[in-house]
Structure 1
Amino acid sequence: MIYPILRPRRLACAIAATVALTLTAIAPSLAAARIQHLTSPGGIEAWFVQDATVPLIAMEYSFEGGASQDPKDKAGVANLVADLLDEGSADLDSRTFHERLDRRAIELSFSASRDTLRGSLRMLRDNKDEAFDLLRMALTSPHFDNADVERIRSQVLSGLRRDSTNPTTLASRKFLEVAFGDHPYGRSTNGTVESVPGITVSDLKDYVAHVLARDTLKVAVVGDVDATTLGTLLDRTFGSLPAKASLVPVPDIDAAKPPERAFVPLDVPQTVITFGGPGVRRSDPNFMAAYVVNHILGGGGLSSRLYREVREKRGLAYSVFESLLWMEHSALFIGNTGTRADRAGDTMEAIQAEVRRIAEEGPTQTELDEAKSYLKGSQMLALDTSSKLAQALLQYQQDKLPIDYIEKRNAIIDAVTLDDAKAAAKRLWSQGLLTVVVGRAPQAAAQPTAAPAPKSN
């Protein structure tokens, strides 16, 4: 999956959040805490963990839609909405709104992914009333004043211009275009230098009216608050939103079939290579087998096959990684590395050779056992703060997993057999790769390499 990048708040807010998160980090893991399915008096549902280790409350929430609801010729609407929701609302202008946040050390942020408009709210327990009230105002009565819109638009365009010379960004964007074509997933979530100037205040207001609604709302809360109080806060915050969203249907899509290769010329010292192909959806019963074997190939950091073959054995790149990316309507595996322009061809050959090898042979039993052990142990470490746990609980809801998934996850990992892992490897990688090369070396964009021929028996 793609995790959203939240726009940073002011320094005082960041410092307060850091202190709070540090306090929770020294507490025992929250992953084993009891997760409640809370329904407020007004019908707002949330996954909730009450934890009084420190006087902090963390809430993550999302609405379905995201950037997939952008008009085709106006990519970037959702991203601009996310950047503007906290730029003044109700009777508060932008400056006053942020002063209220800073005064109480409240962290409020929004971001847009392809499938969701997502937000985060963190506060000290004693400031919860004001924090939830500011969120309510941001969601129900954003200003979208012209001066604020143009200021944020300028910031977005500045970032897009910087990205136009960033080889990693260019490679990722081109890869999604190759994989998804005219589908909404093939468009840039942040928009383009051509589309963002044409976005109007009316577009922003229309997006809010169509997307922010209670029927697609998902909420996760972890912290020092009781269920009764939280139910009241949820009703006060989200209760006045429209009952139903009005979303444009987004079709399911399979990523383009490999092999395929694209080259983007850019005069930079280092050539960037992004590679991937069709993945496995989160709802697929074989997802965990794919997740485990993917860790073996490219998701295991210094222990992955790609790292050993590309970095350690050949010294072709400083780092190389590969991961699964799942969305509401499709799935990918995607990887990235950077190398000297004159070694781009060798790097691609090494990656392709290792992908072919694992597709044909699968992992070893030792690799499978080690991957399982790592994935089970790292989960507990990844959920050791209230904020991390809230983020995970929201993601589990978006992935339509059961509320007791944390308790079941290790057993699901343990159930993956060597035959399951080999079948997943063949499914993921036997067709070859979609590859995008960005840099100086046009020879790196040679004809695609065909998928490996089946072995004779």
Structure 2
Amino acid sequence: MAAKVDNIVIKGVKIPLIYEEDSRLPLVTTQIVFTDSGSITDTKIAGLAKFSSRILGEGTKTLGSNAFAEALESRAIHISASTGAETFVIETSSLKEEFGTSLKYLAMLLKDPNYTKEAFSKVKTMTVGALKRKENDYDYVAGNELKKLLFSGTPLAQPSSGTPQSVEKIQVSDVKSFLEEHLVLSRAIIVVGGDVDLEDVKKKIANVLSGLLKGKAGKVTHYNASWDAKESILKRETEQAYIYFGSPYKMRVDDENYYKARVATFILGTGGFGSRLMEEIRVKRGLAYSAYARVHVSKSSSYLSGYLQTKLESGNEAKKTVKAVIEEFVKNGVTEDELEQTKKFLLGSEPLRVETMSQRLNRTFMDYYKGFSLKHSQEELKKIKKLKLKDLNEFIKSHTEILELSFAIVTK
């Protein structure tokens, strides 16, 4: 059955409910998505949103981490919390017969998070340890440095998990305040799929969420990527050069021309072998094992980014090649053959992108979240199929802003 949007009303708040029935397997997946509640909100302490989601992974204060986990495991129930840039997501999955029980435990978790000193200390120790280990992950280092160049002075310039120093500053009161402000009815969107009746879902979800505060709806702040081409070179004890690059990309999250950007960037750098960057950097010059570029378009930002690794002595040549490839791409566009091959791949691989319930629900949610109809993805594929070379090249040539490339490089 195709997905549809319904709603439930709790404490006067009308909460959207995205639902898809699928009775082929006796499974149910539920997501409670809280908008404007991800790392984009970390304006005071970097990493607070993600840290708060990890606290929810420690079960309830009453049962404790181990007993809560054992209770879920004994019934094959999974509950997890995670954050993106813009959203805070709590997900449950279970067998159909345990759906009600899974929501009972979810309600317990929302009402009684494990704010004990032991749980808090455990999460802080693990988070700081992981961040310190990442200091030697030069892909991570270069990626973060690129974000600093593109989004200086904004939450997007910070690592989403924070830094060892910022995480050390987080107190229990900070987590409590974050969850009380963001896990509220006014920010919630419900996503449910599986072998379950819609009316049963609405009744049981309403019972779970009735314990939340009404709260205030948030509005995602949009941050523009820098139009000033910058370069940052970080010296480390490394055997390779890690080259990350990015630029602004003029596009709204609800832009109807996104399908053209999708086709264009596939040809430029998302499509693996056959993409312009891969052909020029790996196949023709042997500078790197892989080279990649993609466009990120969301409510909070819109930019192009890419990366490659190369030999230390090839760093400058690789950087020049990236710039030359993108300049040629914008100036002359793509060929008819490149367009047709991309169409074949995107249209032919579509079934692989919607074969699981999780994939379908995620796509439906994103279409709804961005302000599109629930049939938007299918309509986009039709547009890709009909896309003419002239129209695509006009689109590519209009985006000269991607020439304003910033580079973050880790080298010896």
**TM-score scaled by structure 1?**
0.85
2:372 pairs with 1:431: no
Aligned counterpart, 1:141: 112
Distance (Å, rounded) in 1 between the aligned partners of 2:130 and 2:402: 37
Q: 1:202-217 residue pairs with structure 2 within 5 A?
A: 202-217=173-188
Seen in structure 2, the aligned counterparts of structure 1 residues 246 and 203 have a Cα distance that, compared at 3 Å, is farther
Q: Which amino acid aligns with 2:226?
A: A
Residue identity in the other structure for 1:123: S
Counting only pairs closer than 5 Å after superposition, residues 56-455 of structure 1 correspond to structure 2 as 56-64=27-35, 65-72=37-44, 74-89=45-60, 91-245=62-216, 247=218, 251-279=221-249, 280-426=251-397, 427=399, 431-440=403-412
Q: Deviations over 1:249-288 (max 9, x none)?
A: 6642210114221111111111111111112332223222
Whether the aligned pair in 1 keeps the contact of 2:268 and 2:277 (CA below 8 Å) is: yes
Q: Which amino acid aligns with 1:274?
A: Y
For the 8 Å contact 1:178–1:186, the answer to whether it is kept is: yes
Paired AA for residue 386 in structure 1: M
Q: CA deviation at 1:415?
A: 4.5
Q: 3-state DSSP class of the match of 2:176?
A: helix
Q: Would you say the 8 A contact 1:214–1:241 is kept in 2?
A: yes
CA contact (8 A) 1:359 1:425 kept: yes
Matched position secondary structure for 1:84: helix
Identity between Structure 1 and Structure 2 (%)? 25
Q: Secondary structure at the match of 1:195?
A: helix
Q: Which amino acid aligns with 2:281?
A: V
Q: Deviations over 1:39-74 (max 9, x none)?
A: 2364442111101111111223311221122243x1
Q: Please report how far the alpha carbon of residue 143 of structure 1 lies from its aligned counterpart in structure 2 after TM superposition.
A: 2.3
Q: How much has 1:135 moved relative to structure 2?
A: 1.7
Cα distance, 1:429 vs structure 2: 5.4
Cα distance, 1:406–1:140 mapped onto 2, change above 3 Å: farther
Amino acid at match of 1:271: A
Contact (CA 8 Å) 2:20, 2:194: kept in 1 or not?
Answer: yes
Distance 1:149 1:268, change over 3 A: same
Instruction: Give the letter for the 1:37 counterpart.
Output: V
In structure 2, list runs of 5 or more residues that go unmatched.
Answer: none
Query: Alpha-carbon deviation of 1:411?
Result: 1.8
**Aligned counterpart, 2:4:** 36
Distance 1:136 1:413, change over 3 A: farther
CA distance in 2, matches of 1:420, 1:203: 50
User: What count of residue pairs does the alignment treat as equivalent?
Assistant: 406
Q: Is the 8 A contact 2:29 2:94 kept in 1?
A: yes
Secondary structure of the equivalent of 2:80? Answer: strand
Contact 2:39–2:47, Cα closer than 8 Å, also in 1: yes
Q: Secondary structure at the match of 2:349?
A: helix
> Is 226-235 or 414-423 further displaced after alignment?
414-423
Contact preservation (8 Å) 1:39, 1:46: yes
Shift of 1:237: 2.1
CA contact (8 A) 2:231 2:407 kept: yes
Alignment partners' CA distance in 1, 2:151 and 2:202: 41
TM-score, structure 2 normalization: 0.93
Q: Deviation of residue 175 (structure 1)? A: 0.6
C-alpha spacing 1:250/1:401, structure 2 compared with 1 (3 Å): closer
- Alpha-carbon separation, structure 2, partners of 1:303 and 1:119: 39
Say if 1:286 and 1:406 are closer, same or farther in 2 by CA, change over 3 A.
Answer: closer
Structure 2 counterpart of 1:47, one-letter code? I
Distance 1:37 1:173 in 2: 37
3-state SS of paired residue (1:245): coil
Code of the aligned partner of 2:390: D
2:247–2:402 Cα contact (<8 Å) kept:
no
Matched residue of 2:383: which SS?
Answer: helix
Quote the offset at 1:413 in angstroms: 2.1
Quick one: which amino acid aligns to residue 66 of structure 1? G
Q: Look up the equivalent residue of 1:205 and give its one-letter code.
A: K
* Distance (whole Å) between structure 2 residues aligned to residue 100 and residue 419 of structure 1: 60
In structure 2, the residue corresponding to 1:420 is in which secondary structure?
helix
Q: Return the alpha-carbon distance in structure 1 between the equivalents of residues 377 and 223 of structure 2.
A: 29
**Matched position secondary structure for 1:303:** coil
Residue 290 of structure 1 deviates from its aligned partner by: 1.2
